Amino acid sequence: MGKIVRITGPVVIADKMKGSEMYELVRVGEEGLMGEIIGLTEDRATIQVYEETSGVKPGEKVEGTGKPLSVELGPGLIGAIYDGTQRPLTVIRAKIGDMIKRGVSAHALPRDKKWEFVPKVKKGADVVEGDILGTVKESKLVEHRILVPPGINGKVLEVADGAHKVEDAIATIETADGKRDIPMMQIWPVRRARPFKEKFDPNEPLLTGQRVADTFFPIAKGGTVAIPGGFGSGKTVFLQQVAKWADADIVTYVGAGERGNEMCDVLVHFPQLKDPRTGESLMERTTLIANTSNMPVAAREAGVYTGITIAEYFRDMGYDVALMADSTSRWAEAMREISGRLEEMPGEEGFPAYLASRLAEFYERAGRVRTLGSDERFGSVTVLGAVSPPGGDLSEPVCQNTLRIVKVFWALDTGLADRRHFPAIHWLTSYSLYVDNVREWWKQKLGEDWKSLRDEAIAMLQKEAELEEIVKLVGPDALPEPERAVLEAARMLREDFLQQFAFHEVDTYCPVEKQLGMLRLVLDFYRNSVEAAKRGIPVAEIKKLPIKDTIASMKRLPSEKFAKEQGKMEKQLMEQFEALLKTRKAPVEEGKREG
């Protein structure tokens, strides 16, 4: 048993710790606070403590547990809210009241709840790690697949049927090392990635129902995304939008060092929202990790790992999982704080030198994989990380190290947020390296032209930016009419397509078919109006066309209604432009080219 020799904030130093291991979970002090060994020299251990340390004294004991920090995996995860070390917050509240006090513990998975286990293997079958032993209908949306744990292969001697608790053996397997009872619950150390067979390049989009994402800067199932931006620029709202509407099977939402009310927001609103594909409540596929800014920093550091381990576990069942981490900067700051207390040699801006490798390791746990198991099962973990750069300046270490890793960059712009252009994702600075990966998918589902329409739209906005530069120098008068027509169309693209108000009952979610339809209309308008302007029609006339208002109201149309009216709108657009052109007989210069 060790003995405390020093306490400074969340860091405790203890002697007589011979025999302990790095990352071993320990019980600190008389109250048995939960801690983890993060440094060992000879018999002295440095421990980060997941709970408040005031009142702890040198001389108090430290007890090893022989186990690393681990999570419980099994039925009961869905709909739960945990702190960073997987303490179930609802259970804790029932136990000790509204404020989180230290020294309480509770099982992450309920022990006495019985789950209806449906076996999928027969007695006598040969199974390998990752095989599905059976299933539990955990929630309306999630069929929880109970897998043979990694490292176990052999013959099924016994398999259960019916209602069981998570610790009950639901199968017995004869392995090379003897008989093993397999319960529904697995324990897994959070800092170790769960194994799989093979990793593949993501090739299917993770659809979010957000136009700027799906159409402009798509993410892919198994991909990585960073969403950096100053305070109030819209990181949380956008991540929550993705958590709500993405076509993922499972959502793991990690609140790392952010606001209590935001977690409460999820808890209040998700159960009321319906998954557009199944009509079931969104909470039926969601797990929350909430370690808010005022909760102990060491647990914040751990929470990100707790979240990704849960995500991997569902991936292993063959599901597409989306994990949101809000905010990775607060996570990095937790590392910095602990590192500072350890008096480690600081790297850039005081962050520990291992910041870059920790970030890389974390995002590396994303991916589309072929899972363990003898059936061909594929699953994915998509990771979306918010980054909160000081002063909104992206040149800081967390941002820079993240951008080196992730494949999609949704750049939030405070200027856009200030004028309530939401989502404030900037169309010129953002990018997605998955455009080519998901192109085939779009082609198969929605026809040839997604990529070319998207490129045309982005080019138009690029052109707008150049023209705006000119206007800033010489005023709008100096522009010839066709260029003014570009500005008008670009404004339409921004306002009627890119802007998508998260709190609008209809527009909060826009299916891809509708996205593409909307984009077609805007681009038709664009081409036609530039053409008309070239033929001498003043932009002022074009602006009066009623189709402009029709386009402006598209986003409020429910998608079925839009689908019905789309053809009509396209027709109206052509007719109105034709009529307009007839008012001007004489074509000018090169105005003859076919539109």
Partner 1 sequence: MKGEAVKSREYLTVAEVSGPLMIVEGVSGVAYGEVVEVITPDGEVKHGQVLDAYEDRAVVQVYEGTRGIDTFKTRVRFTGETIKFGVGLELLGRIFSGRGAPIDGGPKPIFEDEWDVHGAPINPAAREYPSEFIQTGISVIDGMNTLVRGQKLPIFSGAGLPHNELAAQIARQAKVLGEEEKFAVVFCGMGITHEEAAFFIKDFEQTGALERAAVFLNLANDPAIERILTPRLALTAAEYFAFTQGMHVLVILTDLTNYCEALREISAARSEVPGRRGYPGYLYTDLATMYERAGRIKGKKGSVTQMPILTMPGDDITHPIPDLTGYITEGQLCMDRELHRKGVYPPINPLPSLSRLMKDGIGPGRTREDHMDNSNQLYAAYAEGKDLRALVAVVGGEALTERDRRYLDFADRFEQEFINQGRDEDRSIETTLDLGWELLRTLPEAELKRIDPKFIEKYLRPK
Ligand X SMILES: Nc1ncnc2c1ncn2[C@@H]1O[C@H](COP(=O)(O)OP(=O)(O)OP(=O)(O)O)[C@@H](O)[C@H]1O
Q: Is 437 in the site for ligand X (CB under 6 A)?
A: no
Q: Is 8 in the site for partner 1 (CB under 8 A)?
A: yes
Q: Is 268 in the site for ligand X (CB under 6 A)?
A: no
Q: Is 20 in the site for ligand X (CB under 6 A)?
A: no
Q: Whose Cβ is closer to Mg ion: residue 144's or residue 235's?
A: 235
Residues 6+ apart with CB under 8 A from 163: 114, 115, 116, 117
Q: Whose Cβ is closer to Mg ion: residue 281's or residue 500's?
A: 500
Q: Both ends of the chain: CA-CA distance in Å?
A: 82
Q: Is 389 in the site for ligand X (CB under 6 A)?
A: no
Contacts of partner 1 in 246-285 (CB under 8 A): 255, 257, 259-261, 263-265, 267-268
Q: Min. distance of Cβ 101 from partner 1 in angstroms?
A: 6
Q: Is 269 in the site for ligand X (CB under 6 A)?
A: no
DSSP string, 36-52: EEEEEETTEEEEEESS-
Residues 6+ apart with CB under 8 A from 101: none
Residues 6+ apart with CB under 8 A from 1: 16, 61, 62, 63
Q: Which amino acid does the sequence have at 75?
A: P
In whole angstroms, give the CA distance from residue 214 to residue 212: 6
Q: How many residues belong to the site for ligand X (CB under 6 A)?
A: 16
H/E/C letters for each residue in 169-236?
Answer: EEEEEEECCEEEEEECCEEEECCCCCCCCEEECCCCECCCCCHHHHHHCCCECCCEEEEECCCCCCHH
Contacts of partner 1 in 401-460 (CB under 8 A): 414, 418-420
Q: Is 295 in the site for partner 1 (CB under 8 A)?
A: yes
Q: Which structure tokens are listed for 113?
A: 């709840």
Q: Whose Cβ is closer to partner 1: residue 270's or residue 450's?
A: 270
Cis peptide leading into residue 423 (ω within 30°): yes
> In the set 93, 123, 197, 443, which binds partner 1 (CB under 8 A)?
93
In whole angstroms, give the CA distance from residue 505 to residue 511: 14
In whole angstroms, give the CA distance from residue 265 to residue 128: 42
Q: What per-residue string of b and e applies to 189-225 under the rule 16 or more CB within 10 Å gives b?
A: ebbebbebeeeeebbbbbbbbbbbbbbbbbbbbbbbb
Q: Which does 178 bind (CB under 5 to 8 A by kind): Mg ion, partner 1, ligand X, none?
A: none
> In the set 195, 467, 501, 508, which binds partner 1 (CB under 8 A)?
501
Give Cα separations from 554 to 212, 417, 486, 516 (angstroms).
16, 22, 20, 12
Q: Which structure tokens are listed for 469?
A: 């530069």
Q: Is 81 in the site for partner 1 (CB under 8 A)?
A: yes
Q: Which does 257 bind (CB under 5 to 8 A by kind): Mg ion, partner 1, ligand X, none?
A: partner 1
In whole angstroms, give the CA distance from residue 524 to residue 235: 32
Q: Min. distance of Cβ 241 from ligand X in angstroms?
A: 6
Q: Which does 506 bind (CB under 5 to 8 A by kind): Mg ion, ligand X, partner 1, none?
A: none
> In the set 236, 252, 371, 380, which binds Mg ion (CB under 5 A)?
236
Segment near ligand X (CB under 6 A); pick from 69-77, 160-168, 230-238, 530-538: 230-238
Q: Are strands 286-291 and 250-256 parallel, antiparallel or unpaired?
A: parallel
Give Cα separations from 556 to 26, 43, 214 (angstroms).
55, 66, 18
Q: Which residue is nearest to Mg ion (CB)?
A: 236
Q: Whose Cβ is closer to ligand X: residue 76's or residue 303's?
A: 303
Segment near Mg ion (CB under 5 A); pick from 133-141, 230-238, 269-277, 290-298: 230-238
Contacts of partner 1 in 520-549 (CB under 8 A): 543, 548-549
Q: Is 391 in the site for ligand X (CB under 6 A)?
A: no
Q: Whose Cβ is closer to Mg ion: residue 17's or residue 417's?
A: 417
In whole angstroms, give the CA distance from residue 254 to residue 263: 9
> In the set 392, 536, 538, 591, which binds partner 1 (CB under 8 A)?
392
Segment near ligand X (CB under 6 A); pick from 301-309, 483-491, 500-508, 542-550: 500-508
Q: Which does 234 bind (CB under 5 to 8 A by kind): Mg ion, ligand X, partner 1, none?
A: ligand X
In whole angstroms, give the CA distance from residue 119 to residue 132: 9
Q: Which does 423 bind (CB under 5 to 8 A by kind): Mg ion, ligand X, partner 1, none?
A: ligand X
Q: Say whether 27 sits in a helix, a strand or coil.
A: strand
Q: Min. distance of Cβ 298 from Mg ion in angstroms?
A: 22
Q: Is 437 in the site for Mg ion (CB under 5 A)?
A: no
Q: Min. distance of Cβ 470 from partner 1 in angstroms?
A: 11
Q: Whose Cβ is closer to ligand X: residue 346's or residue 415's?
A: 415
Q: Is 422 in the site for ligand X (CB under 6 A)?
A: yes
Cβ-contact 314, 145 below 8 angstroms: no
Residue 317 φ then ψ, to 5°: -80, -10
Binding stretches for Mg ion (CB under 5 A): 235-236
- The footprint of ligand X (CB under 6 A) covers 229, 231-238, 258, 388, 422-423, 501-503
